[in-house]
Amino acid sequence: MQITLGVDNHATQCVSWQAGDGIYAIQCPGFLPGPGRLPGWGYVLSYLVLGADKALLIDTGFGLSDLKTYVRTLTDLPLVVMNTHVHPDHSGGNGQFDTVFVGEHETPETDDGVLFYRVPGQREACDAVKRGGSYRFAHLRDGERIDLGGRTLQTVEIPGHTKGSIALFDENTRLLLSGDAILKRVFYGAGVPLSVYRAALEKTKRLPIRDILSAHWPEPLGADFIDKMLRLIDAFDPVKAECAAWGEPGMASRDMRMFCFGRDFDDPDFVALSFFMDQVDQIMQ
């Protein structure tokens, strides 16, 4: 597909494409370009994985459009719904569903201090979400499997973006659906030591991954992208990081930096960590 960096197309409806055998990528309305040298692609992707008996919806977007009705144009299978983490661009549509699974160490209140609210000028939640009832969180343990009937996905806990971020490994296609835990630019907001994140990436690397489908980039990342992230962590030096100011409410006053390899998002070798300088002592433990 055509990738336009840093431009909001003001979409009002979901669009989708086939990202793998029985896997749909769903581009949800809402634009969050984020900090860094170039703002990146800016959209959030949910993923729908089809089994023989059930379907798994991974993340619910900002809640700016009727995702549940859109999903029903793609499948009529019973839905299992989960959030890779609870930032509002991934959980904003949760009110349309009864139960939403999250990682066992994720906190619904997002206590890491980096919960970003709606970007300036962004639309309110759609009527279908506003009408939605209350929902409950249920929890998935690291390594726990989700059986969709003829298709099994394994939960992979990768703390770093948030304390309880999870990815899903599809054993059929060998695709890792990584949420925001593995991206071209990871917003490292949980303040957990980089050694913890590194260990989680090493664990993830042992899976027979073919490609990585992330939440903020429309093209697959190769399995070797994990090695790129590991090399970045090993070279991490906050003194050499560049300014990556982001003027979101509650964040503009904090000193945000970005440590990266590569020129910008167009560079296939680009990989980056954005972080707050007031978390460096925690990160470097």
Q: What is the pLDDT, as a whole number, of residue 244?
A: 86
Average pLDDT in the 131-137 region?
Answer: 87
Does pLDDT of 251 surpass 70? no
Residue 133's pLDDT is 76
pTM surpassing 0.75? yes
Structure confidence by residue, pLDDT tens digits, 42-56:
899 999 999 999 999
Beta-strand (E) ranges in the chain? 15-20, 23-31, 43-50, 55-58, 79-82, 99-103, 136-140, 145-147, 152-157, 166-170, 175-179, 185-187, 211-214, 221-222, 242-243, 256-261, 271-276
Per-residue confidence band for 118, with pLDDT thresholds at 50, 70 and 90 = very low
d(CA 102, CA 87): 11
Structural domains in the chain plus CATH codes = 15-223 (3.60.15.10)
